[in-house]
Amino acid sequence: MPTSPQNRENFGQKLRFVLPVLRWAPKYQKQWLRSDFVAGLTLAAYAIPVSLAYASLAGLPGETGLYCCLLGGMAYAAFGTSRHMAVGPTSAISILIGASLGSMVDDTGRQIQLAMATAVLVAVIGFLAWVFRPGNTVNFISETVLSGFRVGAGLVIISTQLPKLFGVRTGGSNFFKCLVELATHLGQTNLPSLAIGAGH
């Protein structure tokens, strides 16, 4: 039985609702390509080292951060509603993954598998949130809780990245132990690493 034009139009509207890229991509103009290419290179120059650092925070190999940044951006290009938003991993998510999965397993391969399962679970939760629209629930989270989370995330980032800045191999399972370990190993500072890090 042939499909009526009205049914095809309704299907097209539903498809464009699910895939916003079908709404804005046909309106893309050639004169935007040059500027978008430069913007893409600029974003890549920033995103590549940041993605590697986020993978380190999560306790995963560096390439996993690149995969997250690349695939996340591609997925958002299809399903996102803004053409001007950059999407990728964040420090807070990386810290949560590293802290939760790192305490469960010691094997890197197993941790990668758990991280992938976590990503799938988050995707399912995100889909359910898109379907049921429970966005107003975030209004019940106290600003004090959010501020504490941001400060804690900042301290964790500092404690994990300072040894890399000084080129020192140290251990420590929390913020204070990391700082103590760093202080006791300052004599092993790698001056070229410190100079490059301070220069950026």
Token pair in block for residue 27: 């309106």
pLDDT tens for each residue of 66-102: 988 888 888 888 888 776 777 878 888 888 888 888 7
Distance separating alpha carbons of residues 133 and 127, to the nearest angstrom: 10
Identify the CA nearest to 114 among candidates 103, 125, 124.
103
pLDDT tens for each residue of 18-76: 788 888 888 888 898 999 899 889 988 888 888 988 888 888 998 998 988 888 888 88
The reply to whether the predicted model has a pTM over 0.75 is no
Identify the CA nearest to 72 among candidates 60, 53, 86.
86
Which one is predicted more confidently, 122 or 199? Answer: 122
> Is the pLDDT score of 139 beyond 60?
yes
CA dihedral over 85, 63, 125, 79, signed as positive or negative:
positive
